[in-house]
Amino acid sequence: MNNIKEENLKRISEYIYEIPVDKNYGMKVKGLIYASDKIIKNVIDDGSLTQIKNAACLPGIVKASIAMPDIHFGYGLPIGGIVATDIENGGVITPGGVGFDINCGVRLIVFDILQKDLKENTELLAKSLFTEIPSGIGEGGNISLDNKELKRVLTNGAHWAIEKGYGFPNNLEKIESNGVLANANPDIVSFRALERGSNQVGTLGSGNHFLELGYIETIFNTDIAEKWQLKKDNVTLLIHSGSRGLGHQICTDFLRIFEQTIKKYNITVPDRQLACSPYNSKESQEYLAALAGAANYAWANREVLGYLAINVILNVLNISSDYARPRLIYDLAHNIVKIEEFFINKNIKKLAVHRKGATRALPANHKDLPQIYKETGQPVIIPGDMGRYSFLLVGSNSATELSFNSACHGAGRVKSRHRAIIDAQNRNIANELKSKGIIAIGRGKKTLREEMPDAYKDVDEVVEVVDSLNIAKKVAKIRPMAVIKG
């Protein structure tokens, strides 16, 4: 299948590109890509635009097949892809629209301590976090669970972590969905998935997952910053992890099932990686129940990771929690499907919103916001690469109309991991970062090469798109000081 070229795109405005409906191809809606000219040129040959076109053929899809500016090639739906299907009018569920790392997500913790308080201890903190926080492919942690207890994690999510003393009760209102999806059914999760998840609660994982100590370098919105208790030079902690081997196995299990159901339901898709089933089918309902369990596992995992990391920081600096005042700003999901209501053709419709490498960006007064963020809108966390910066934004008014209340989830790759390793083979990435005042430690020999800053788009350019489109507005820029990679 030929990749979409620039001449096949229609430029709607400075930051909006359209793939017109091609009924001969099977498209039911247009494709929309929110990107700058530079970003479009970066992705024009990677196949991700064709994946947006493919997703526009899904049964029951509404409005458009959408891509955020961090778009790059993925499994089925590209990273940065958003698809919504009308579940009461033929809409389908597709695991390829969520991906393997179910509820891969990020949380942001802010401290009252300042950048200058960390400077002399940055390297020690990095080494201590690397030692105390398990990371790497397949790496297990110190929390080992039998099947009965593991199923409680899958049912109760972040609540489980807090009940077990690995978290903080006041965090729950600052976690998407209060840290738990109610429709989880751990009894349909395979033995292999449970086996893989038995010792990975409180572990970071590998690849682009990370712990990052930084500080607030710039504040763009002083009013929101004051309401969220953010000040310039406040120390920050970003944690990016997901459902680990358990979520990956659940996706793998259901992809096999869904690939067999296309004929059963007489569904045609251009790419088998978008294999799907009707929302009300047994296959979709079981997948959603298993997905909820994986999502809950991920929220528990990040709650434990936050608890462990905070304790390491307090111990190394020999300060009290009352003095440092660590507080969660928000924890959100990147890879998930949720049933949400939107106006479609002047009618309220229940949609299955698939976000893959995309995050919710709820505007102020949205019904799904906790009371603490009703007035401001939802915090939107967009990490960059480990050598430049990350951003904190707030969901804004155009998100509902443009993107089903969604924003990008990060910078997005411009080089595959394989390409990055080749390009970095004669470089010492750790030393390059150290010369910029950033301590970086990776578990595997290739990790820092795979994740080197120039393997990613400049997140400043990516954020400029969602900010200019009023999808999410900039609140603060965060500069890294120390990064732990699996």
Task: Supply the residues annotated as catalytic.
Answer: 409
CA distances from 43 to 49, 152, 384, 414 (A): 8, 42, 18, 8
